[in-house]
């Protein structure tokens, strides 16, 4: 029997990078080829995969004949370029080159978008092509599209969530299995969750990049990596994790982007990433392993929650392919996806403007009147106490002259809370401040 050729046009797809995500993108492009063709209205022809070293042993799904070390030439012959190599260069130059040659681009590269998104947007705008990046924030979870498109008619007030799978996995393993940070990071690397350099995860850079991207989309304002207040999880100890549990909390690395006001009344947005205590019965506390969850609070829509797999090659490839189908459809049917929206240009406020609560653990002299001194230091800074707890039996320090206090404050500006902790640390009766953690998600 002679098969008649497929009458549909075809689009040439190039993939840059063939690691954890790239391999799964190639697998989906190959194994789902017929369904993708039906959904797009054109066959997606994989014309090449750019890698550093073509001789490295790879998953058999990747046809060796398609490998090339010359990404520049590859992108010149593609209609759609998928960038999953990570890092700033050469990813940035290759994407710009691809766009200049008229390609639509899909990237999972949050580091690049948070550093130089506006350049990529401007290039895509000038060339009349698409720039899509669903996989760059919270892996498989549809969150970029909902914030960029579905909520385009609403007024977003706040975005709060867990957007880094590696640190969530690590904190979860520390909480449930008592692993130390290094052991848990090694596991996350083996599972394909961690960035090429896991420092990006544990120091909060990856979450900060995602927070910057979400804030830019939610508030129609350019927010870059440097605008995000960032604290990672390296200072979180096993003792912090145990104390969190004792006080009915879990520790999560949170990304928070919200509208707010500075001390002088300036309205703007405040974006931060830091570990925080969350009440054990809060929905975010139940986000386990490498899963992510993002809450979006919008004026008309109310509260929305997005939950799913935030890391890993297979789930992330799903988000990449969703974007590939979208940009490919635009090439077949005409039209384009959204361009950059930064018209609101809101001021980005410092972390000091954030309103939050603190839980402070401190060691004090175990004698009458100490609590009153600590309480009055807080009151002088207008910080009120929600709860005070003394170390329970069996957990007191070995020295009977020293007591362990856990103070949880009510909400106050971060700047006041910081000043309060400094004042408390300076009291004669205070031996040491053991830890200071924010409490979120009241
Ligand atoms: N692994 C995950 O769970 C997720 C990763 N991402 C993002 O996806 C991108 C890729 O991540 P992974 O696949 O995990 O990284 P990976 O390190 O496993 O893969 C990157 C691949 O790109 C190749 N590459 C790097 N520089 C190159 C160059 N100059 N020329 C040719 N090839 C080059 C590397 O050799 C490697 O094979 C990154 O931007 C990452 O942030 C996004 C969401 C989830
Ligand atoms: N390293 C990232 C991968 C996805 O973005 C993470 O752990 O979340
Ligand atoms: Na996503």
pLDDT band per the 50, 70, 90 thresholds, residue 395: low
Across the chain, mean pLDDT equals: 95
pLDDT value of residue 9: 86
Q: Is 18 annotated as a binding residue?
A: yes
Q: How far apart are CA 311 and CA 323, in angstroms?
A: 17
**Closest among 116, 32, 166, 125 to 105, alpha carbons compared:** 125
pLDDT above 70 covers a percentage of the chain that reads 97
Q: pTM value?
A: 0.96
Homologous superfamily of 10-142+314-333: NAD(P)-binding Rossmann-like Domain (3.40.50.720)
pLDDT digits (tens, 9 = 90+) for 242-279: 999 999 999 999 999 999 999 889 999 999 999 999 99
Q: How far apart are CA 180 and CA 286, in angstroms?
A: 21
Q: Domain spans of the chain?
A: 10-142+314-333, 152-310, 354-439
- Residue 208: nearest ligand to its CA? 2
Residue from 20, 75, 89, 225 whose mutation best tests the ligand 1 pocket (most atoms within 8 A of CB)? 20
pLDDT band per the 50, 70, 90 thresholds, residue 131: very high
Nearest atom in ligand 2 to 194's CA: 1
Q: How far apart are CA 358 and CA 361, in angstroms?
A: 10
pLDDT value of residue 74: 98
Q: Is 66 annotated as a binding residue?
A: no
CATH topology of domain 152-310: Dihydrodipicolinate Reductase; domain 2 (3.30.360)
pLDDT band per the 50, 70, 90 thresholds, residue 401: confident
Which two tokens mark 144? 């970029």
Class (C level, CATH) for 354-439:
alpha beta
pLDDT value of residue 263: 86
pLDDT value of residue 397: 52
Measure 161 CA to ligand 1 centroid, in angstroms.
Answer: 24
Give the CA distances from residue 368 to residues 140, 372, 377, 427, 428, in Å, rounded to whole numbers and listed in that order.
55, 9, 16, 15, 14
Residue from 134, 171, 195 whose mutation best tests the ligand 2 pocket (most atoms within 8 A of CB)? 195
Q: Is 268 annotated as a binding residue?
A: no
* Residues marked as catalytic: 210
What is the average per-residue pLDDT within 56-76?
A: 98
Among 151-165, 268-282, 289-303, 372-386, the least confident range: 372-386
What is the average per-residue pLDDT within 305-317?
A: 97
343 contact partners, CB below 8 Å, separation of at least 6: 220
- Residue 169: nearest ligand to its CA? 2
Q: Does 315 have pLDDT greater than 60?
A: yes
User: Does the beta carbon of 17 lie inside 6 Å of ligand 1?
Assistant: yes
pLDDT value of residue 391: 73
Q: Is 77 annotated as a binding residue?
A: no
What is the average per-residue pLDDT within 409-420?
A: 94
Q: How far apart are CA 241 and CA 249, in angstroms?
A: 9
Measure 313 CA to ligand 1 centroid, in angstroms.
Answer: 10
Among 6-10, 34-38, 40-44, 317-321, the least confident range: 6-10
User: Does the beta carbon of 51 lie inside 6 Å of ligand 1?
Assistant: yes
Which two tokens mark 371? 């609590």
* Number of helices (H), then strands (E), in the chain: 14, 18
What is the average per-residue pLDDT within 309-332?
A: 98
Given a contact cutoff of 8 angstroms between Cβ atoms, the answer to whether 434 and 404 are in contact is yes
Beta bridge partners of residue 97, listed in sequence order: none
**Closest among 215, 230, 254 to 347, alpha carbons compared:** 215
pLDDT digits (tens, 9 = 90+) for 172-206: 999 999 999 999 999 999 999 999 999 999 999 99
Q: Which residue has the tokens 């990006």?
A: 200
The ipTM (two decimal places) reads: 0.99
Q: How far apart are CA 401 and CA 314, in angstroms?
A: 55
pLDDT digits (tens, 9 = 90+) for 87-117: 999 999 999 999 999 999 999 999 999 999 9
């Amino acid at each position: 029997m002679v098969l008649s050729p497929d009458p549909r046009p075809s689009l040439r797809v190039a993939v840059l990078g063939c690691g954890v995500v790239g391999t799964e993108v190639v697998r989906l492009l190959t194994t789902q080829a017929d369904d993708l063709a039906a959904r797009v209205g054109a066959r997606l022809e994989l014309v090449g995969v750019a890698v550093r070293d073509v001789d490295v042993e790879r998953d058999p799904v990747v046809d060796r004949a398609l490998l090339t070390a010359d990404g520049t030439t590859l992108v010149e012959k593609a209609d759609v370029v998928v960038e999953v190599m990570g890092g700033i260069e050469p990813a940035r130059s290759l994407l710009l080159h691809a766009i200049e040659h008229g390609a639509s681009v899909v990237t999972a590269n949050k580091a690049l978008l948070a550093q130089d998104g506006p350049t990529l947007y401007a290039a895509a705008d000038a060339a009349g092509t698409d720039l899509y990046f669903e996989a760059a924030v919270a892996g498989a979870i549809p969150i970029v599209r909902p914030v960029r498109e579905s909520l385009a008619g609403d007024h977003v007030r706040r975005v709060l969530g867990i957007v880094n799978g590696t640190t969530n996995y690590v904190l979860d393993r520390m909480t449930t299995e008592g692993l130390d940070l290094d052991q848990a990071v090694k596991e996350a690397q083996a599972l394909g969750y961690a960035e090429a350099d896991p420092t990006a995860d544990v120091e909060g850079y990856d979450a900060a990049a995602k927070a910057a991207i979400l804030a830019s989309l939610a508030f129609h304002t350019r927010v870059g990596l440097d605008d995000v207040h960032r604290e990672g999880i390296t200072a979180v100890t096993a003792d912090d994790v145990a104390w969190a549990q004792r006080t009915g909390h879990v520790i999560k690395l949170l990304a928070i982007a919200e509208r707010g006001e500075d001390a002088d009344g300036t309205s703007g947005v405040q974006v931060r990433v830091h570990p925080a205590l969350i009440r054990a019965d809060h929905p975010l506390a139940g986000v386990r392993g490498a899963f992510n969850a993002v809450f979006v609070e919008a004026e008309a829509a109310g509260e929305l929650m997005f939950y799913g797999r935030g890391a890993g090659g297979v789930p992330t490839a799903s988000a990449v392919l969703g974007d590939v189908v979208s940009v490919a459809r635009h090439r077949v049917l005409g039209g384009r996806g959204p361009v950059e929206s930064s018209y609101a240009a809101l001021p980005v406020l410092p972390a000091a403007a954030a309103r939050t609560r603190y839980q402070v653990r401190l060691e004090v002299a175990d004698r009458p009147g100490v609590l009153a001194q600590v309480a009055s230091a807080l009151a002088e800074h207008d910080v009120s106490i929600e709860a005070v707890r003394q170390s329970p039996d069996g957990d007191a320090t070995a020295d009977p002259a020293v007591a362990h206090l856990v103070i949880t404050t009510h909400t106050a500006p971060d700047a006041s809370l910081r000043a309060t902790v400094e004042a408390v640390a300076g009291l004669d009766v205070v031996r040491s401040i053991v830890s200071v953690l924010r409490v979120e998600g009241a």
